[in-house]
Each structure stands twice: as C-alpha cells, then as structure tokens.
Structure 1
Amino acid sequence: MRVNKLTIAALAVVAGLSLTACQTDDEAAAVDRSTPSTSSTTGAGSDASAQGAAKDPAGDSPDQGRSATDTCRTDELDVKAQDTTIDGDETNSVAVTFTNGGGRDCSLSGFAGVDLKTNAGTVSAERSGKPAPATVLKDGESVSFFISYPANDTGGSGIRVTGLVVTPPDETKSVTLDWPGAASLPVTDGSGTPVQVGPIGSAGQGG
C-alpha cells in the first residue's frame, strides 16, 4: 500500500507540471499575437519620412515648376545705338543697347550679330574678346555692347556707312538702325573687316 500511494503521488506531480507548461505556452502565444512587430512599425515610419523629405511644405517636389530663364527675343527688345567715341581714342566706337520690354525676365549672352550697310556692300563685324556670361534682364533693364572701328584718316572719301543691322544673340530676326558713328570707314586692303564687336555687357549695364 505504501508503494501505491507513492506512485499515485508521483503521477499527480507530473500531471500538474504538464498542465502548467501548457498554460505557459498558450499565454506566450497570446502575447505574441496581441503585440505588434517592432521591426514592422519602424520600417513604415522610415518610408513615411523618406516620402516627406522628397517634397517641399507645399507638397510638391523641390524642382517642380523651376526652369531656366529663356533667351530674349528680338521682338521683346528695344534696340538703340549711340556714338561713344572719345577724343584721343585709338579707334572709334558705337554702343548698342538692348532694353528688355517683354514683360518677363530673359537672358542674353555671347555676341550679337553686327553688319554695317555701306555704299560698297555689307561689312560684317568680327568678334573680339571672350564670350560674356549670360546676363539676365528684368523687364525694363538694359545691357550694352561696343562696336569698334578705325577712323578714316586717309584723306580720301573711304567707304560711306549708310546703316547698322543688329541681330540679338541666338536670334535670326534683325533690327536696322541709323548709323550714329563716323560717316565713313577707311578702305582696307581686303585682308579682313575693320569692324569688331564686343560681347554682351562689354559697354556696361544699366537699369
């Protein structure tokens, strides 16, 4: 009888331990199901931050709506020329001024095309110096460049200048102006044009 009591008591202890183990596993599983995954929550927050950084406060991407300033068109520019020769200068000069009247910002850079109309035909100016950086003109602002040419000191009649044709940079439409400089150019030996044109901005910029 003593052996049977010990056996029954041992079986009761084993059964109790098994029941406790089952309850512990069930509770752990319940905890796993009710607690969100930490790595999953963190990943979603990172994605949201990345999407927010790609937009500005207005909800647009940083570069949206931005564009480079367009080139000034001939029809938007008021073009004038004036004699700027100073006594004692080695060469004569004329300044041509572009004034932006297009109602928008536009840019000019490099060289304008310059042709002198003469009684002997057209004389095209050669470029001198290096191209200038782009100049952005707000509506109403101006920029100028020089035309230089030799004085006619030969004592003869030379080549009579009858007009000035100016073509803004990157344009094909020209503007014809009265020539404000000396009435004539010296006759050349045919080795090249005596007229040179400076880059945009070479005669200063005004408002």
Structure 2
Amino acid sequence: MRANKITVAALALAAGLSLAACQSDGDATDRSDSSAAPATTSSHGDPGPGATKGSPASGGSAQGTAQASAGKGSGEGQGANAGTGSGKEGKLGKCRTDELQVKATDNTIDGDPGGTVVVEFTNGGGRDCVLSGYAGVDLKTSAGTLSAKRTGQQASRIVLKDGGSVAFGITYPINDSGGSGVRVTGLVVTPPDETKSVTLDWPGAATLPVTDGSGSPVKAGPIGSAGQGG
C-alpha cells in the first residue's frame, strides 16, 4: 500500500509538472504574439520586425526638429530684412537744388497796392523729398543785390511728390514815383537748406522805387504760400 501511494503521488506530481509546463509555454506564446503584433507593421505601413517600428519614429522626430529649426531661422531672417527695408523707405531726404525745376511768373493783380511774383518748385528728382521753411530770394538790381525779407508766416513741412509742384510768393512795391527807380536785372532763388542757387529772369515790374535805406521793400513768403502778402 505504501508503495502504491508513493507511485500514485509520483504520477500526480509528474502530471502536474507537465501541465504547468504546457501552461507556461502557452503564456510565453501569448506575450510574444501580443508584443510582436504592433511591430509587424512599420509607421509607413510596411511589414517589418520590432526594430523597424522604432526606426521611422526616430527618423520622424529628427525630421520634425530640422523643419522647426529651418522655419525659425527663415522667419527671423525674413523679419529682419523687411524691417530694414521699411526703415529706409520711410526716411525722406530734403529736396536738392539739382532735383528741382524752378520758374518765376508775374502774379500781380490789378488793384493791388504792390506787385507779386510767384516762384514754383517742381520735383524732377525721381523720388519724393521734403521742402520746408523759406527759400533765399535775392534781386539783382542796378544798385546792387537786394535780399528779400521773410514775411514771418509759419512755415510748414511739405512732402513734395516726384513730379509735384509747390510755390511761394514774393511781394514788392510798384514804382509810381515818376522817376527811373532801381532797375531789376535778375532773380536768384536758393531752395531751403541749400547753398546752390538758381538764377532766373525777373518777370515782375522793370523797376523798384528808390528806398531811403531803411530796409528791403521786397518780401518772401514761406514754401507753400503764394499771392499777395506772401
């Protein structure tokens, strides 16, 4: 009896070990299948081993980083260039004498106590520029150079477009004394903030009355004014 019990126990133990081994094999097979299943298809849809799945992911991350870096660099460069260009275009320089076409015309109106000459600047420089303040005005006369006084009116800053024009007025007394007066032979105009002048024919009355030396009877208005009174 004792021998039989030992034999039965041994058989039972052997059967148990065999069953446990079968279950262990089954679990191992299940885990292998579950971990391998996602790895059989790569991120591009191509079948491959488990290592293939990690490779595209790593490559995609590097590509994304490169694209982000390239985008950042491109954006910064673009912004800097645009800002520099905008700053240069936004700054206007003053109008130069060589860029201006200057002409003078008589603008005296019947009944006015004095005469008026209008001087016009036309921008022919191929760019917009700025004129502001008073131009220099000198009359060449038989008695020497006579410089015009400023009227004292407030001067405005004027952006003169390419091809655009702006004018100012010169007023002077009419010679009605009956004498020969002072003969005017020419007009010299110097644009504001410039040293180069333009000499023009005087379009006004041929003579001015003789002054008593108390000051110039000729007056010039600021840029943008025209007509009687400057």
Please, what TM-score do these two structures have when normalized by structure 1?
0.68
Aligned residue for 1:64, secondary structure, equals helix
1:146 correspondence with 2:166: no
Q: 2:149 aligns with which of 104, 126, 144?
A: 126
**Bigger share in helix:** 2
Gaps of 5+ in 2: 1-71
Aligned residue for 1:114, secondary structure, equals strand
Q: Where in structure 1 do 4 or more consecutive aligned residues deviate above 4 Å?
A: 55-58
Alpha-carbon distance in structure 2 between the residues aligned to 1:203 and 1:57: 49
1:68 correspondence with 2:88: no
Gaps of 5+ in 1: 1-51
1:134 offset after TM fit, Å? 1.0
1:84 correspondence with 2:104: no
How many residues are paired up?
151
Alpha-carbon distance in structure 1 between the residues aligned to 2:171 and 2:76: 51
- Superposed, 1:39-50 pairs within 5 Å as none
1:59 offset after TM fit, Å? 1.3
Aligned residue for 1:166, secondary structure, equals strand
Residue in 1 aligned with 2:125?
102
RMSD: 2.1
- State the AA in 2 paired with 1:143: V
Larger radius of gyration: 2
Aligned residue for 1:108, secondary structure, equals strand
Whether the 8 Å contact between 1:158 and 1:184 is mirrored in structure 2 is: yes
Q: Percent identity?
A: 69
1:64 offset after TM fit, Å? 3.2
Please, what TM-score do these two structures have when normalized by structure 2?
0.62
Whether the 8 Å contact between 1:96 and 1:144 is mirrored in structure 2 is: yes
Alpha-carbon distance in structure 1 between the residues aligned to 2:193 and 2:76: 35
Alpha-carbon distance in structure 2 between the residues aligned to 1:56 and 1:197: 52
Residue in 2 aligned with 1:59?
79
